[in-house]
Amino acid sequence: MTLTLKPEPITADAFAPFGKLLTRPSASGRMDYSDTLMNLRSDAAVCFRTSLTEPTALPLTTRTMERHEFSSQAFLPVDVGRYLVMVAPHDADGGPDVDGLRLFEVDGGTGISYDANVWHHPMTVLDKPATFATVMFLDGGAGDEQFVELPVEVEIRL
């Protein structure tokens, strides 16, 4: 069985169960995103890095989801076109709930911060290679990053 998802536009309200949107300043000055960060381990260190992600050809068929059980994970666009964000709530056993999968299309001027313990698919970039600044917390343990396979294939289409 294959589940087909098409993206919906991202809004703060629609994304709220999974995290927060990071918007750029609309006037001169600074934006403080500190309230979007979650570190649930006192001994975890901040991980602040940049990444370059190549565009993905669609349709994309996947079964992969990941989570960072004890840390939020924030992506702030540096040089980004559009990208897709696939998220899922938890099922009764704590894994990703396939029936609750959501796919969002995000413009290159908006960042996202996944809350700690949120199931999400690895970044799916469209249009051009994308550079993101990423902030999360790591302690080198198993809770830093967990990948699972979904029981069904998910086809991502525009």
Domain spans of the chain?
A: 2-25+40-141
Question: Rounded distance, CA 81 to CA 128, Å?
Answer: 6
Coil, strand or helix at 82: coil
Predicted pLDDT of residue 1: 82
User: Binning pLDDT at 50, 70 and 90, where does residue 25 land?
Assistant: confident
CATH label, 2-25+40-141, candidates 2.40.340.10, 3.40.50.150, 2.60.120.480, 2.30.130.30: 2.60.120.480
Predicted pLDDT of residue 47: 97
User: Binning pLDDT at 50, 70 and 90, where does residue 108 land?
Assistant: very high
pTM equals 0.95
Q: What percent of the chain is modeled with pLDDT above 70?
A: 100
Q: Which residue spans within 35-157 are E strands per DSSP?
A: 45-53, 60-67, 73-79, 83-88, 102-106, 110-114, 119-120, 124-125, 130-138, 146-156
DSSP output for 19-68: EEEEEPPSSSS----GGG--B--TTPEEEEEEEEE-B--SSEEEEEEEE-
Q: What is the mean pLDDT of the chain?
A: 96
User: Binning pLDDT at 50, 70 and 90, where does residue 24 land?
Assistant: confident
Predicted pLDDT of residue 122: 96
Question: Rounded distance, CA 70 to CA 146, Å?
Answer: 11
User: Binning pLDDT at 50, 70 and 90, where does residue 76 land?
Assistant: very high
